[in-house]
């Protein structure tokens, strides 16, 4: 006859609970460190679309990760120009090209960019009661910034979808509300 061992069952339950908590903790994305801002040389920080310039001596968090991607990933939509001379800096990482602001394209935070694994794939962005498909063409660097390669702008946060004007228009956002907006996104 088998006997029920309450102590053994509780121990197994405790181990499963601790394992689950540790797995959940591992999915949290925390800053990987900081970089110190440097004052940009005159005329070197492009502030198109109200982009921030690094401040001398200010510390900016850097991230090597982003929150886990789901079918409804929460993010912050920001405005970026992917055109030559725009506040996006140089050509896009995925194809070494500039892109018209009239084309729905995005840059994703470093973790979501996933070392280029999402390059030239589409994502679906939802907000304001609408959805739009946009092509991933660039990384919104969460690991570096405040230098010439990054147009003397701070590193991106870990939850950014940096989008062209075409994305904002497709979402039906009035121009006076362009800049930052809470959204959800998913892989198309």
The CATH code that applies to domain 6-187 is 2.40.40.10
- List all residues 6 or more positions away from 68 whose beta carbon is below 8 Å from its beta carbon: 27
Mean pLDDT of 123-144: 97
Measure the CA dihedral 113/100/179/163, to 10°.
Answer: -20
pLDDT, one tens digit per residue, over 35-73 is 999 888 887 777 777 778 889 999 999 999 999 999 999
pLDDT band at 187 (very low <50, low <70, confident <90, very high): very high
Q: Which residues of 32-54 are buried (b: 16+ CB within 10 A; e: fewer)?
A: eeebebeebeeeebbeebebebb
Length of the chain: 188
Percent pLDDT > 70 in the chain is 85
Helix (H, G, I), strand (E, B) or coil at 35: strand
The model's pTM is: 0.81
Radius of gyration of the chain (CA): 21
- Domains of the chain, by residue range, sit at 6-187
């Amino acid at each position: 006859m088998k006997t029920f061992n309450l102590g053994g069952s509780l121990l197994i339950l405790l181990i499963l609970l601790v394992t689950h908590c540790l797995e959940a903790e591992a999915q949290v994305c925390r800053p990987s460190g900081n970089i110190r801002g440097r004052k940009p040389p005159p005329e070197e920080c492009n502030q198109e679309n109200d982009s921030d310039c690094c401040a001398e001596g200010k510390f900016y968090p850097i991230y090597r990760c982003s929150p886990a991607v789901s079918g409804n990933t929460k993010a912050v939509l920001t405005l970026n120009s992917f055109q030559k001379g725009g506040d996006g800096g140089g050509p896009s990482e995925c194809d070494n090209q500039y892109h018209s602001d009239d084309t729905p394209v995005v840059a994703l935070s470093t973790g979501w960019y996933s070392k280029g694994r999402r390059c030239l794939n589409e994502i679906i962005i939802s907000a304001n009661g609408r959805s739009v498909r946009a092509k991933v063409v660039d990384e919104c660097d969460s690991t570096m910034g405040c230098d010439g390669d990054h147009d003397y702008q701070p590193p991106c946060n870990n939850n950014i979808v940096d989008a062209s004007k075409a994305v904002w228009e497709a979402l039906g956002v009035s121009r006076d509300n362009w800049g930052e907006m809470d959204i959800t996104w998913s892989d198309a």
